[in-house]
């Protein structure tokens, strides 16, 4: 229960500990209260217990999904997970329980040769059907060095397409500048209800839909009596972007539908056909540009599938992004620590809980310390402490 409160509910380790106090008081139960340190150690043990030996992957084909986290301090986290290849035909989104942790390792830089080396140590390459990741040069080159077919993640690919479309678009630059100015000036004012949503700083093209949904809704409201005269004056700039906002929003909604389809059904000739049909009668310049880029992505991926005589491939790494998201939530209050063995929480996520008793019985804190030494090394916090000690 304690581990679930941290990993599934998103509580801090201290808050999860206090829950047991509340349960005891409210339900008049004499229940032991695990300390936050105990819960942390339990989580690390489960993380270690979820790793498999190299031989355990044999006799079955796997899809590798790989990604790097954003930098914490002076280090980056490499996460590689394996999914059974038959999940292509599951007809649903990937879930945590579908994945097996392969690599969770920290380094200041991740060169392609190093990535290839650590993957070879963790899994036999003949057990790998293909690999899935973004188009980062170090990951793509690593898979090429290992002669593993690389499938580009559809989420990052679609984000790249929108960047190609909008990066030099004057309407987009002016529209987002207006929105940024509104947030800066009006967020704490009486006009706060019409303030647009925040724009992402990192990977801003991966979630543009809220910005254009806001614009489309405000344009509709300008034609009603639901806004005050002052609010209509503030939003009057939107009339100049009415066609642009509606066209881009319609395009984004289609792309979101395509991504949902490909995530649940995997990429195949049938899902490609369904995807292209979603464009309907959209024939404006922007839609045609995006459609052309999507067709090129489909064609490139199909060629890779034909080379392997595959009918389907998994093409979304959403699940690994979700793992990173939960990890970042756990460490966001103290990023100055850097990446520590708390990264084992990522591995702990990938469990159905069936073998937790066995994991606790077989994984000692000594194993946790050994894993930390091999895969994390000195943390940023540890380096600071060592430096301060020299001062006496």
When pLDDT is cut at 50, 70 and 90, the band that residue 391 belongs to is low
| CA distances from residue 312 to 39, 83, 92, 265 in whole angstroms, order as listed | 41, 14, 13, 9
Contacts of 225 (CB under 8 A, 6+ apart): none
Answer CATH for 49-153+317-389 from 3.30.420, 3.40.50, 3.40.1350, 1.10.10: 3.30.420
Q: Within 317-389, where are the H helices?
A: 318-331, 344-349, 356-362, 365-375, 380-389
Q: What is the pLDDT of residues 10-45, one digit of tens each?
A: 888 899 999 999 998 999 888 888 999 999 999 999
pTM, full prediction? 0.88
When pLDDT is cut at 50, 70 and 90, the band that residue 71 belongs to is low
Domain boundaries, the chain: 49-153+317-389, 154-313
Taking the CA atoms of the chain, what radius of gyration do you get in angstroms? 24
Q: What is the pLDDT of residues 242-300, one digit of tens each?
A: 999 999 999 999 999 999 999 999 999 999 999 999 998 888 999 999 999 999 999 99
Residue 327 near residue 346, CB atoms below 8 Å: yes
> What average pLDDT score do residues 108-118 get?
93
How far apart are the C-alpha atoms of 148 and 99, rounded to whole Å? 19
- Give the single-character DSSP code of 198: P
The terminus-to-terminus CA distance of the chain in angstroms comes to 43
The Cα diameter of the chain in Å comes to 73
| CA distances from residue 113 to 105, 138, 245, 359 in whole angstroms, order as listed | 15, 8, 44, 33
> What average pLDDT score do residues 1-15 get?
88
Average predicted confidence (pLDDT) for the chain: 89
Residue 6 near residue 330, CB atoms below 8 Å: yes
150-152 and 100-107: which strand pairing?
Answer: unpaired
Residue 204 has pLDDT above 90, yes or no: no
Question: E strands of the chain, at which residues?
Answer: 62-68, 76-84, 100-107, 128-133, 150-152
Residue 326 has pLDDT above 80, yes or no: yes
Task: State the pLDDT at residue 331.
Answer: 75
How far apart are the C-alpha atoms of 100 and 348, rounded to whole Å? 10
């Amino acid at each position: 229960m304690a581990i679930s409160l941290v990993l599934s509910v998103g509580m801090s380790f201290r808050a999860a500990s206090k829950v047991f106090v509340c349960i005891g008081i409210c339900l008049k139960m004499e229940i032991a209260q695990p300390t936050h340190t105990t819960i942390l150690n339990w989580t690390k043990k489960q993380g270690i217990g979820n790793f498999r030996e190299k031989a355990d992957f044999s006799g079955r084909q796997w899809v590798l999904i790989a990604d790097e986290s954003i930098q914490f301090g002076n280090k980056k986290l490499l996460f590689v997970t394996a999914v059974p290849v038959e999940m292509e035909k599951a007809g649903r989104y990937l879930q945590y329980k579908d994945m097996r942790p392969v690599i969770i390792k920290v380094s200041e830089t991740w060169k392609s040769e190093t990535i290839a080396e650590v993957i070879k140590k963790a899994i036999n390459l003949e057990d790998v059907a293909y690999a899935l990741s973004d188009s980062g040069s170090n990951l793509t080159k690593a898979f090429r060095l290992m002669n593993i077919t690389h499938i580009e993640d559809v989420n990052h690919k679609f984000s790249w397409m929108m960047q190609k479309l909008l990066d030099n678009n004057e309407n987009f630059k002016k529209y987002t500048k207006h929105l940024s100015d509104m947030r800066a000036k009006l967020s704490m004012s009486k006009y706060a209800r019409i303030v647009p949503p925040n724009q992402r700083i990192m990977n801003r093209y991966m979630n543009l839909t809220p910005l254009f949904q806001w614009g489309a809704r405000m344009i509709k409201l300008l034609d009603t009596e639901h806004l005050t005269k002052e609010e209509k004056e503030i939003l009057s700039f939107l009339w100049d972007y009415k066609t642009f906002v509606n066209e881009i929003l319609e395009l984004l909604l289609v792309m979101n539908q395509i991504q949902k389809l490909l995530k649940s059904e995997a990429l195949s000739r049938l899902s490609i056909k369904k995807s292209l049909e979603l464009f309907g009668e959209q024939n404006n310049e922007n839609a045609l540009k995006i459609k052309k880029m999507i067709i090129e992505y489909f064609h490139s991926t199909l060629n890779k599938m034909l080379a392997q005589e595959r009918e389907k491939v998994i093409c979304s790494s959403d699940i690994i992004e979700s793992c990173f998201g939960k990890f970042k939530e756990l460490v966001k209050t103290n990023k100055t620590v850097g990446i520590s063995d708390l990264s084992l929480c990522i591995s702990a996520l990938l469990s159905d809980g069936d073998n937790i008793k066995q994991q606790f019985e077989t994984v000692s804190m000594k194993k946790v310390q050994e894993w930390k030494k091999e895969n994390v090394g000195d943390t940023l916090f540890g380096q600071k402490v060592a430096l301060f000690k020299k001062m006496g």
